[in-house]
Amino acid sequence: MGWFGPSTQIGVNIGTSSVKIAELKKSGKSYQLVHFGIAQLPDEAIVNREIVNHMAVVDTIRGLVSQLKIKGQSITTSLSGPAVIVKKLLLEQTPINELEDAILWEAEQYIPFDINEVVFDYQILNKSGPEGKMEVLLVACKRSMVDNYVAVLKDAGLNISCVDVDHFALQNTFELNYPPETPAALVDIGASSLKLVICAGGVPLFSRDSAVGGKTLTTEIQRHLNLSYQEAEILKIDGNTQGQLPQEVTDLTHVMAENFASEIKRSLDFFIASNLGTTVSYILLGGGSSRLPQLPKLVEDACGLPTQVLNPFQKISYDSKIFNEDYIQGIAGTASIPIGLALRGFAK
């Protein structure tokens, strides 16, 4: 079919601080990483998941696509944040041709926006669930947010074939690389949010988006050491010129990691209290802040569950002449969502 034909899919993850793009090639049941890149967005280009500076986001995407020499046009992107609602509904048995109206009727009580300003989709999880009712997963989002994200991708010269949700992209990556039957908590800690999804057997059991992320740590380093935001970010990620962290940064990092661990524990406690009899076997961490020193151990100690960094490359190969081992290890934490989006493209 040709290198850039339907055998490749591209995931574009637009975060609040960066854009990440992953392109995968499929051969039989095997996947290979073709391209991967990250580009930082200008400060305040996206605030609270709302695109504030349209052209800055367009230019960042266009520049990254050009840098990676991506030719493919089959793009899957995703959304997250308070404008995205993911809710499991229990409905009385309803004929399929009446199901959409029944879901809309039920959904209105959970959607804090005018129902006419919302786009939604749903999937039947279980036709005969608890009490004989239908179990349906509802996903809804403000139409304006979807339109804004689609617009920046179109203006950057890309064609969108699917808009997904960050939580489900994370789940896609997990299910390819780990035994999907075992209940696991997947956590992605980005610049401005902590996303958590608990899934088992291919079904998302619980999801949550918390407004805590790595940007808070950068701001604290900036304030304590009187640095620019960019200098603080570099210090957080790479240390100083000797590759070492000042004690103040080490202390701030430890406090932030403890905050992340507490937030994850709160989410797990809420899930377990609401789903009696359901357990979680382990926790997998992703996102840029998953690289914080000691974070897996702190989460493991706080939650009492085995914890490690999610590795999206257990079942995805790559050409070692293009991507060396250090690079792959360096991007493992941040690659899960864009890779999950590319995988979603193959499922269409």
In a domain, 50, yes or no: no
Please check whether residues 208 and 289 belong to one and the same domain: yes
Please check whether residues 112 and 217 belong to one and the same domain: no
Could you tell me if 207 and 164 are in contact, meaning their C-beta atoms sit under 8 angstroms apart? no
* Banded model confidence at residue 173, pLDDT cuts 50, 70, 90: very high
Half-sphere exposure of residue 290: CA atoms within 13 angstroms, side-chain side? 27
Please check whether residues 190 and 284 belong to one and the same domain: yes
Please check whether residues 261 and 213 belong to one and the same domain: yes
In a domain, 37, yes or no: no
Residue 241 has pLDDT above 70, yes or no: no
Residue 277 has pLDDT above 80, yes or no: no
In a domain, 320, yes or no: no
Q: Which of 142, 165, 191 is the last residue of a domain?
A: 142
Could you tell me if 195 and 49 are in contact, meaning their C-beta atoms sit under 8 angstroms apart? no
Please check whether residues 247 and 127 belong to one and the same domain: no
Kindly report the CATH number assigned to the domain that includes residue 105. 3.30.1490.300
Q: What pTM value is reported for the model?
A: 0.91
> Residue 39 belongs to what H/E stretch?
strand 30-40
> What are the percentages of helix, strand and coil residues in the chain, rounded to 5?
40, 30, 30
Q: Which of 120, 142, 164 is the last residue of a domain?
A: 142
In a domain, 66, yes or no: no
Residue 118: count of CB within 10 angstroms of its CB: 21
Please check whether residues 232 and 121 belong to one and the same domain: no
In a domain, 330, yes or no: no
Could you tell me if 206 and 198 are in contact, meaning their C-beta atoms sit under 8 angstroms apart? yes
Please check whether residues 125 and 188 belong to one and the same domain: no
Considering only 1-5, 11-15, 53-57, 149-153, which range has the smallest mean pLDDT?
A: 1-5
Task: Give burial (CB, 10 Å; 0-12/13-18/19+) of 98.
Answer: exposed
Rounded Cα distance between 314 and 312, Å, is: 6
Residue 2 has pLDDT above 70, yes or no: no
299: domain range? 179-310
Please check whether residues 207 and 103 belong to one and the same domain: no
pLDDT, one tens digit per residue, over 6-33 is 589 999 999 999 999 999 999 888 999 9
DSSP code, position 243: S
Kindly report the CATH number assigned to the domain that includes residue 286. 3.30.420.40
- What are the angstrom distances between the C-alpha of 104 and each of 49, 146, 180? 25, 19, 31
Overall number of domains in the chain: 2
Please check whether residues 132 and 238 belong to one and the same domain: no
- The arithmetic mean of pLDDT across residues 314-331, rounded, is 94
Supply the Cα-derived Rg of the chain in whole angstroms: 20
Cross-strand pairs, 135: 90, 126
- The arithmetic mean of pLDDT across residues 280-301, rounded, is 91
In a domain, 128, yes or no: yes
Please check whether residues 211 and 96 belong to one and the same domain: no
Please check whether residues 99 and 222 belong to one and the same domain: no
pLDDT, one tens digit per residue, over 77-112 is 999 988 898 988 888 888 888 888 888 888 888 888
- Give the model's pLDDT for residue 239: 65
In a domain, 317, yes or no: no
- Give the model's pLDDT for residue 237: 72
In a domain, 232, yes or no: yes
